[in-house]
């Protein structure tokens, strides 16, 4: 039986199954990347709901795992060398889980190309789409000066155009193989169009290969399940 009591986060979110990977998140675009990956791989895990309503992500217990106070974060009780491994940043978590499971990250030269597209999501799509959300849907919506919004919309269109061209003759970002690059990217595209309601603003109709692949992604059973995890506590 694994002992995770040395991790302060387990005081606020006790592990009922300490032998399983502990996931701390909510079902936001970055959170579901990890629950989808866990569902796709079948690795046993225990999800914990981190409530933004009560600012749980800023609590000392959560920040003991991620000092940046952002979800998702995990503890794998059975990490390298059999030791517990705490990890934050969804891209790092996806790479780790891919290596642990031997799934969704090729081991040949395509490995680096996959990581390249994963980084494209982490450094480009994630931050830029997030800013579109702020300036279009949330507090920034009321700002009179529309230049910041327009800048992020323009950059998001640029990213979508790159992705659209990449997918012109490919089923998934890496071709026939579904990888962590897809698992990282499509929850963000879904959120931009859905939750943020920014589809028209970014001209999503101009990126049909992106929406085609989004539909294929959303049809996967593991994605359907993962999108609802962790359930609201």
213 near ligand GSH (CB under 6 A): no
CB of 197 to ligand GSH, least distance (A): 17
77 near ligand GSH (CB under 6 A): no
Contacts of 127 (CB under 8 A, 6+ apart): none
The residue from 10, 22, 35, 90 that contacts ligand GSH (CB under 6 A) is: 90
106 near ligand GSH (CB under 6 A): no
Nearer to ligand GSH, 28 or 78 (CB): 28
CB of 71 to ligand GSH, least distance (A): 4
Burial-class residue 161 by CB neighbours within 10 Å (0-12, 13-18, 19+): middle
71 near ligand GSH (CB under 6 A): yes
113 near ligand GSH (CB under 6 A): no
89 near ligand GSH (CB under 6 A): yes
- Please count the residues of the chain: 233
Q: Are 24 and 71 in contact (CB under 8 A)?
A: yes
End-to-end CA distance of the chain: 26
State the CB neighbour count (10 A cutoff) for residue 184. 27
Tally of CA atoms within 13 A in the half-sphere of 208 that contains its CB: 2
Nearer to ligand GSH, 48 or 70 (CB): 70
30 near ligand GSH (CB under 6 A): yes
Distances (CA, A) of 44 to 56, 78, 157: 24, 11, 38
| Three-state DSSP state, 231 | coil
28 near ligand GSH (CB under 6 A): yes
CB of 161 to ligand GSH, least distance (A): 22
Rounded CA-CA distance 121/129 in Å is 10
From the list 16-24, 25-33, 133-141, 149-157, the region that binds ligand GSH by CB under 6 A is 25-33
The residue from 48, 70, 157, 190 that contacts ligand GSH (CB under 6 A) is: 70
The percent of the chain in helix, strand and coil, each rounded to the nearest 5, is 55, 10, 35
57 near ligand GSH (CB under 6 A): yes
From the list 23-31, 35-43, 169-177, 222-230, the region that binds ligand GSH by CB under 6 A is 23-31
Q: Are 153 and 202 in contact (CB under 8 A)?
A: yes
Place of tokens 């891919």: 98
Site size for ligand GSH, by CB under 6 A? 13
CB of 169 to ligand GSH, least distance (A): 29
List contacts with ligand GSH (CB under 6 A).
28-30, 57, 69-72, 89-91, 122, 126
């Amino acid at each position: 039986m694994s002992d995770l009591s040395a991790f302060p986060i387990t005081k606020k979110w006790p592990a009922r199954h300490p032998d399983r990977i502990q996931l701390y998140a909510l079902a936001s675009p970055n959170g579901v990347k990890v629950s989808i990956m866990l569902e796709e791989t079948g690795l046993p895990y225990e999800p914990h709901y981190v409530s933004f309503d009560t600012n749980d992500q800023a609590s000392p217990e959560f920040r003991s795992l991620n000092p940046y106070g952002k979800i998702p974060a995990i503890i794998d009780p059975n990490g390298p060398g059999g030791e517990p491994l705490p990890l934050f940043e969804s891209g790092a978590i996806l790479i780790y889980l891919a290596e642990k499971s031997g799934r969704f990250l090729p081991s040949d030269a395509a490995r680096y190309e996959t990581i390249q597209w994963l980084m494209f999501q982490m450094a480009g799509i994630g931050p830029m789409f997030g800013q579109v959300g702020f300036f279009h849907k949330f507090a920034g919506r009321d700002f009179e000066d529309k230049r910041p919004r327009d800048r992020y919309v323009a950059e998001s269109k640029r990213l979508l155009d790159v992705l659209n061209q990449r997918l012109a003759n490919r089923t998934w970002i890496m071709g026939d193989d579904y990888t962590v690059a897809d698992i990282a990217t499509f929850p963000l595209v879904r959120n931009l169009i859905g939750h943020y309601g920014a589809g028209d603003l970014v001209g999503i109709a101009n990126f049909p290969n992106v929406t085609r692949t989004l539909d294929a992604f959303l049809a996967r059973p593991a994605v359907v399940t993962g999108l609802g995890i962790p359930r609201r506590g």
